[in-house]
């Protein structure tokens, strides 16, 4: 499933490649993914020029001269800049540009392709309810968000309405780098631990951001992301020695999800 490193990378690639292009037509093969009637979606975007591409949580936000195109890949998928002669077998949405290229979008399972007029982005509930992108926070911002919270740290970091962008792939390394047990209660964190967590969020996400995301996702140009399984420090490595202290890494149940921890480095539950 795409998380912040993958979504940030796709938005960056799309911004560099798509800004200035004019949408000539739109073909929707999965109308269920839309938030408006098909005709409103196609007339909303057809003839518009792409002005900017940003992201928020798992959403890619394309601002055009006629409105917002908001894209969420759900469990995963491909966004490819290609042409009609080279379309992949699977696609659910095609955006044709006036220069002959097109954007082919596939959802592995189910995704969202939404439209909002330029002045109505704030009425898009699925993005409006998201917390800030976690990588954009300052240490002070993070401290303020954590202040007064009484939940457990892992649940908080995965709650997209609190902070957006961290999912099950990167959470384990982030908590390990911060030396925090996933079940640690937020109101017991010291200033030093919050500082460690802030640094760990960046240290846990940056290696993948710098390599255009994880290997299981595809770039806009059809290549695999460069962040490899063996670069994951502790996630999915139960039975292996902790790279910090040598203790055997454990897979434990934390609420409804599994966590990978070093029981020595992250002992402070």
Q: Which are the contacts of 199, defined by CB distance < 8 A and separation ≥ 6?
A: 177, 178
Q: Which is nearer to Zn ion, 35 or 244 (CB)?
A: 244
3 state DSSP class of 116: strand
Dist. CA 152–CA 253, nearest whole Å: 14
The burial class, CB within 10 Å (0-12 / 13-18 / 19+), for 218 is buried
Nearest distance from residue 244's CB to Zn ion, in Å?
4
Q: Quick one: how far is CA 170 from the chain centroid?
A: 11
Nearest distance from residue 245's CB to Zn ion, in Å?
3
Residue 265 binds Zn ion (CB under 5 A): yes
Dist. CA 228–CA 84, nearest whole Å: 31
Nearest distance from residue 243's CB to Zn ion, in Å?
8
Q: Which is nearer to Zn ion, 153 or 262 (CB)?
A: 262
Q: Quick one: how far is CA 188 from the chain centroid?
A: 28
Residue 245 binds Zn ion (CB under 5 A): yes
Nearest distance from residue 191's CB to Zn ion, in Å?
23
Q: Which is nearer to Zn ion, 66 or 247 (CB)?
A: 247
Nearest alpha-carbon partner for 33 in 108, 136, 97: 108
Tell me the β-bridge partners of 93: 28, 105
**Using CB under 5 A, which of 25, 54, 244, 258 touches Zn ion?**
244
Handedness of CA 14, 20, 21, 24 (dihedral sign): positive
Question: Residue 85 carries which DSSP code?
Answer: G
> Considering only 60-68, 94-102, 117-125, 243-251, which stretch makes contact with Zn ion by CB under 5 A?
243-251
User: What residues numbered 105-124 form the site for Zn ion, per CB under 5 A?
Assistant: none
Q: Which are the contacts of 241, defined by CB distance < 8 A and separation ≥ 6?
A: 247, 248, 249
> Considering only 6-14, 89-97, 167-175, 261-269, which stretch makes contact with Zn ion by CB under 5 A?
261-269
Site string for Zn ion, 203-242 (x = CB under 5 A): ---------------------------------------x
Q: Which is nearer to Zn ion, 94 or 265 (CB)?
A: 265
**Using CB under 5 A, which of 120, 206, 210, 264 touches Zn ion?**
264
Nearest distance from residue 85's CB to Zn ion, in Å?
53
Residues touching Zn ion: how many (CB under 5 A)? 7
Q: Which is nearer to Zn ion, 103 or 262 (CB)?
A: 262
Dist. CA 206–CA 110, nearest whole Å: 28
Footprint on this chain of Zn ion (rule: CB under 5 A): 242, 244-245, 247, 262, 264-265
């Amino acid at each position: 499933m795409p998380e912040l490193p993958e979504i940030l990378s796709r938005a960056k690639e799309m911004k560099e490649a798509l800004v200035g292009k004019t949408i000539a037509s739109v073909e929707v093969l999965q109308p269920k993914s839309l938030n408006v009637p098909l005709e409103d979606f196609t007339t909303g975007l057809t003839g518009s020029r792409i002005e900017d591409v940003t992201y928020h949580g798992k959403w890619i936000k394309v601002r055009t001269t006629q409105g917002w195109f908001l894209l969420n890949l759900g469990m995963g998928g491909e966004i490819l800049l290609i042409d009609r002669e080279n379309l992949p077998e699977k696609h659910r949405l095609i955006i044709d540009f006036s220069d002959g290229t097109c954007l082919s979008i596939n959802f592995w399972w189910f995704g969202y392709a939404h439209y909002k007029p330029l002045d109505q982005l704030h009425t898009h509930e699925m993005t409006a309810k998201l917390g800030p992108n976690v990588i954009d926070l300052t240490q002070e911002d993070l401290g303020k968000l954590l202040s007064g919270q009484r939940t457990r740290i892992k649940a908080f970091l995965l709650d997209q309405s609190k902070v957006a962008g961290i999912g099950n792939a990167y959470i384990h390394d982030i908590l390990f780098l911060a030396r925090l047990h996933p079940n640690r209660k937020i109101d017991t964190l010291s200033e030093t631990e919050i500082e460690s967590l802030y640094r760990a969020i960046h240290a846990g996400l940056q290696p993948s951001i710098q390599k255009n995301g994880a290997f299981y996702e595809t770039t806009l140009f059809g290549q695999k992301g460069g962040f490899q399984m063996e670069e994951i420090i502790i996630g999915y490595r139960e039975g292996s020695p902790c790279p910090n202290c040598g203790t055997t890494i454990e897979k434990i149940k934390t609420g409804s999800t599994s966590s990978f921890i070093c029981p020595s480095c992250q002992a402070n539950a």
